[in-house]
Amino acid sequence: MIGKKIRLPHDWSVEASFDSITGEGATGYLPGGIGEYKKEFPLKLATDQMAYVVFDGVYNNATVSLNGKELGFHPYGYSPFYFDISSKLKSDNTLNTLTVNVDRTRYVDSRWYSGSGIYRNVDLNVKNKLHIPIWGTFVTTPKVSDNLSEVSIEVNVTNAYDKEKAIEVFTEIFDGNGVSVGQQSSEIVINSNNTSKITQLLSVKNTKLWDVDNPYIYKAVTSVVQNGKILDTQKTPFGIRTFRFDANEGFFLNGKNRKIKGVCLHHDAGMVGAAVPKGVWKRRLNKLKEAGCNAIRISHNPGSQEFLDLCDEMGFLVQDEFFDEWDNPKDKRMNMNEQSVDSITRGYSVHFQEWAEKDLKNTVMAHRNHPSIIQWSIGNEIEWTYPRNSDATGFFNNMHWSGNYFWELPPNSPEQINEQLQNLPKGKYDIGQTAKKISRLGT
């Protein structure tokens, strides 16, 4: 595919032929390889402007450059990320060249079909130097009732000027028909080259709650205003709902006990590969609704913004998952802990120590306003990659046990497991310590 014109999102692997000889079944017998994307575009910023390029997902090991100058590297294929490109834009009227190099030569780096390339959307955001940064709004609902609900909106504002600036932050909430149902204004002084946070509390009367049967969406429109002029605006769709889990009675949404009737969905969609058009997702989700499904677990990685938008709009409960590997790698071919070192099967565990915190925080920041999300999953099938813990339970490498790992109690009792954990040799990493560390990052 030399010099080929494409439209984003794009997955180059799905365009190739299946290869059962040199390919690998773990990733669908389709190739990986190296790809380079180039985009030329005109953009000359005014003295009061900045620009960001935002990627919803690139699979994987992406190196992004602008006009021959590297912006940065991003290894994880599923987390969103962005770069400030302001200083590397051309100052004349010639075209800028954005280059994204994708290295997926480790083509068995997953246990399912991952796709290759810029398979999710890319946005170019031009903003005033006084602006709401990327993922800079956070909506919560501290009090919820049919009559009156409180909506808390946390707003970050960045001042990239060399002088402090006095501004007004104005937020207005609109219902599903575009009618204004609440507004608030706040004044703030921001130091030079700094970011400040403010919280606004608004009331919404006659609240329409977000529910799986009636997924009602409100929209918060937040503006940065100076001397009566709007400098930046951020629109944040959100839902008003409550949910809780009870150990004895189950799950409650808006005070009603509900059964979570869910499925696990990977990020690809058959013939279209990983670059899934929104219409394909809508059709699939409609079919699931017709079958009685009301929940999705995104397996086994963060979903796209388009997918989550549809879950918000169509009324699905979502468990958003972060990782399929932590400290230790998996054997993708055998679906178990790694048996031998093979470079083409090395996945996210290679980058976990350095990148897990950034990837998790980026994902939470980007996805936190979706009313569909009721759970975050820190990892999938992680326990058997830690030999000490997998041996202690008796689930694994146990020739005398014929039960099923997924729905039966471990063959070893709690006392036996504790004894084993005391006596078995410790590895470099401990699953419990890593789990606690990851869980704290999301709070």
Question: Known catalytic residues?
Answer: 381
Distance between CA atoms of 79 and 322, rounded to whole angstroms?
Answer: 8
Q: Residue 344 in contact with residue 279, Cβ under 8 Å?
A: no
H/E segment holding residue 69: strand 69-74
Q: Which DSSP state fits 62?
A: E
CB-based contacts of 68, cutoff 8 Å, min separation 6 = 97
What is the DSSP code (8-state) at residue 185? E
Identify whether 300 is preceded by a cis peptide bond (ω within 30 of 0). Answer: yes
Name the residue among 398, 423, 418 with its Cα closest to residue 408.
398
Using a 10 angstrom Cβ sphere, with 0-12 exposed, 13-18 middle and 19 or more buried, the burial of residue 177 is exposed
Please report the DSSP string for 301-352 in residue order.
Answer: S---HHHHHHHHHHT-EEEEE--S-SSS-EETTTTEE-SS--GGG--THHHH
Q: Which amino acid is at 440?
A: R
Secondary structure of residue 386 in the 3-state scheme = coil
Using alpha carbons, select from 374, 266, 388, 371 the residue that is nearest to residue 314: 371
Structure tokens at 23: 């390919």
CB 330, CB 390: distance < 8 Å: no
Helix 349-367 with 431-441: angle, nearest 10 deg: 30
**Cα dihedral 75, 76, 79, 85 in deg (nearest 10):** 10
Cα torsion 330, 332, 336, 339 to 10°: value is -70
3-state helix, strand, coil in the chain (%, to 5): 20, 35, 45
- Output the six-digit token pair for 352: 């976990």
Q: Please give the Cα distance from 187 to 190 (Å, whole number).
A: 10
DSSP 392: H
